[in-house]
């Protein structure tokens, strides 16, 4: 005959594992660096949400004044970062970046930029009233009998921050 246990089966109403008396005892204590990291992450998310973005559009564009273009095109791209104070004139910054791309095109023997596309992101203002601006500009360099208009495409879509802009730094 088999030996039987004298204890009854466990009750379905009683917990099988020990449960702490207080939920605060189960949670580890937060240290100061952990709390600081939470605030840093919150500030970064808030800063990204307040960033101002503008673009020339989904597709590359060519100025309508440029008619005949050589078949050989050389793709060019540049990303520049600016630090500005008291405001951002995105149109001026776009002109400056486009002129850098055009100088590269001239150095390889091209006379116009076609298939242009740009994006502009403005983050800020910071505590010292400065803005971080990132402009990405891409175009193809080509030869043409038409002259280059020396103006970014879709310039009217550039969004800026009102104020008297002072450029403090420019990085390529």
Which residue from 172, 83, 65, 171 is spatially nearest to 124, judged by alpha carbons? 83
Residue-wise pLDDT tens digits, 83-92: 999 999 999 9
CATH of the domain at 63: 3.30.110
As for how many domains the chain has, the answer is: 1
The string of pLDDT tens digits covering residues 122-142 is 998 888 999 999 999 999 999
Q: What is the pLDDT of residue 60?
A: 95
pLDDT tens profile 12-48: 666 666 656 655 556 677 788 888 888 888 877 766 6
Closest alpha carbon to 156 in 81, 61, 90: 90
In a domain, 166, yes or no: yes
> pLDDT value at position 27?
65
Domain-located, residue 60: yes
DSSP secondary structure of 91-135: HHHHHHHHHHHHHHHHHTT--EEEEEEEEEEEE---TTSEEEEEE
Dist. CA 99–CA 96, nearest whole Å: 5
Q: What is the pTM of this model?
A: 0.72
Phi-psi region of 31 (alpha: psi -120 to 50; beta: other; left: phi over 0): beta
8 Å CB contact between 158 and 54: yes
Q: Measure the CA–CA gap between 99 and 150, rounded to whole angstroms.
A: 7
Q: Which residue has the tokens 């101002």?
A: 52
Is position 127 within any domain? yes
Residue 133 lies in a domain: yes
Q: Is residue 85 part of a domain?
A: yes
Per the structure, the complete domain to which residue 57 belongs is given by: 52-171
Let me know if residue 144 belongs to a domain: yes
Can you tell me the mean pLDDT for 81-105? 97
Q: Does residue 81 lie within any of the structural domains? A: yes
Are 139 and 113 in contact by the 8 Å Cβ rule? The answer is yes
Give pLDDT, residue 41. Answer: 84
Residue 12 lies in a domain: no
pLDDT at 145 over 60: yes
Which pLDDT belongs to residue 6?
72
């Amino acid at each position: 005959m088999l030996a039987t246990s004298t204890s009854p089966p466990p009750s379905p109403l009683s917990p099988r594992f020990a449960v702490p008396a207080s939920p605060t005892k189960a949670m580890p204590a937060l240290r100061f660096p952990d709390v600081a990291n939470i605030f840093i992450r919150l500030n970064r998310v808030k800063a990204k949400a307040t960033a101002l973005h503008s673009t020339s559009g989904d597709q590359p564009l060519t100025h309508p004044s440029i008619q005949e273009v050589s078949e050989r095109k050389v793709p060019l791209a540049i990303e520049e970062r600016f630090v500005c104070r008291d405001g951002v004139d995105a149109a001026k910054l776009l002109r400056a970046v486009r002129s850098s791309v055009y100088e590269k095109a001239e150095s390889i023997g091209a006379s116009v930029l076609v298939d242009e596309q740009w994006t502009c992101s403005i983050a800020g203002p910071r505590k010292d009233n400065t803005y971080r601006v990132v402009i990405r500009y891409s175009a193809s360099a080509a030869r043409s009998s038409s002259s280059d208009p020396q103006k970014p495409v879709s310039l009217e879509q550039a969004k800026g921050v009102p104020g008297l802009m002072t450029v403090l730094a420019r990085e390529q």
